[in-house]
């Protein structure tokens, strides 16, 4: 598959041949969904936590005697039916949301999403991406000249470049990631992928390794 290649001025300067082992994988929506759900679950932070009746403070003494008061019998003020008592079936930090997905499945789903992006012309390949100094305006001017203006964009770098990273992090609807760290959930969160040619090579070398 070939895609248009742009320079930093937004001009088409030719085409780039994408490696078929990465960008020509038939889509399997069930697999992509399964991988995306697992990655979302693994990111989940457990912040809600309640106490059951064994964890609530107090309750060592019976509130009143069993018979003769005319009131209902109770054994502890930590009972869930009491105000300030324990919570029944409430959320706690012992809940495990993590899901394990085989490495081959994650890799194949990643290739499927990349293939779909290329087929739908949502993959923007740059001949090169360099800026002289960290400045948001310089990076924003480059992105504004490329297709996808106003949409969400993920800039994928072949290697760490502090100037580009610092220049991109304050641009609305735009994020940045290294090629070796991309995942299915991240790619699905952005409409356009912007990447230099070297990023394609980095993706292939990182994820196309033989078992």
* Digit-coded pLDDT (tens) for 73-119: 999 999 999 999 999 999 988 888 889 999 999 999 999 999 999 99
Question: CA distances (Å), 170 to each of 10, 135, 164, 167, in order?
Answer: 21, 10, 11, 7
> How much is the pLDDT for 209?
66
Q: Is the pLDDT of residue 123 over 80?
A: yes
- Domains, the chain, ranges and CATH? 2-44+98-207 (3.40.1370.10), 46-96 (no CATH)
Question: CA distances (Å), 158 to each of 48, 76, 161, 195, in order?
Answer: 38, 63, 9, 8
- As a whole number of angstroms, the distance between CA 147 and CA 142 comes to 11
* Digit-coded pLDDT (tens) for 87-97: 999 998 888 88
Q: Is the pLDDT of residue 55 over 80?
A: yes
> How much is the pLDDT for 183?
95
- As a whole number of angstroms, the distance between CA 150 and CA 92 comes to 41
**Phi, psi angle pair for 47, to nearest 5°:** -115, -20
For 133, counting Cβ atoms within 10 Å of its Cβ (0-12 exposed, 13-18 middle, 19+ buried), the class is: exposed
* Digit-coded pLDDT (tens) for 7-17: 999 999 999 99
> How much is the pLDDT for 94?
84
User: How large a percentage of the chain has pLDDT more than 70?
Assistant: 99
Q: Is the pLDDT of residue 34 over 80?
A: yes
Q: 181: which DSSP letter?
A: G
> How much is the pLDDT for 176?
95
Q: Is the pLDDT of residue 22 over 60?
A: yes
- As a whole number of angstroms, the distance between CA 16 and CA 201 comes to 12
Question: Is the Cβ–Cβ distance between 53 and 78 less than 8 Å?
Answer: yes
Q: How confident is the model at residue 211 (pLDDT cuts 50, 70, 90)?
A: very low
Mean predicted confidence (pLDDT) in 148-174: 93
Average pLDDT taken over every residue of the chain: 93
pTM of the model: 0.82
């Amino acid at each position: 598959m070939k895609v248009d290649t742009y320079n930093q001025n937004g001009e088409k300067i030719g085409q780039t041949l994408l490696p078929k082992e990465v960008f020509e994988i038939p889509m399997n929506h069930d697999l992509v969904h399964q991988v995306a759900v697992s990655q979302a679950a693994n990111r989940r932070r457990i912040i809600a936590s309640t106490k059951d009746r064994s964890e609530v403070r107090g309750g060592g003494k019976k509130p009143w005697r069993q018979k003769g008061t005319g009131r209902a019998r109770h054994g502890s003020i930590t009972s869930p039916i009491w105000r300030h008592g324990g919570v029944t079936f409430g959320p706690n930090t012992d809940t495990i949301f993590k899901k394990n997905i085989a490495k081959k499945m994650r890799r194949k789903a990643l290739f499927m999403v990349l293939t779909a992006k290329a087929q739908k012309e949502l993959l923007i390949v740059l001949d090169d991406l360099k800026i002289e100094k960290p400045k948001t305006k310089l990076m924003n001017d480059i992105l504004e000249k490329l297709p996808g203006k106003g949409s969400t964009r993920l800039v994928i770098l072949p290697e760490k470049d502090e100037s580009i990273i610092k220049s991109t992090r304050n641009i609305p609807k735009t994020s940045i990631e290294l090629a070796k760290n991309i995942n299915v959930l991240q790619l699905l969160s952005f409409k356009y992928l912007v990447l230099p040619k070297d990023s394609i090579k980095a993706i292939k070398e990182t994820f196309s390794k033989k078992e």
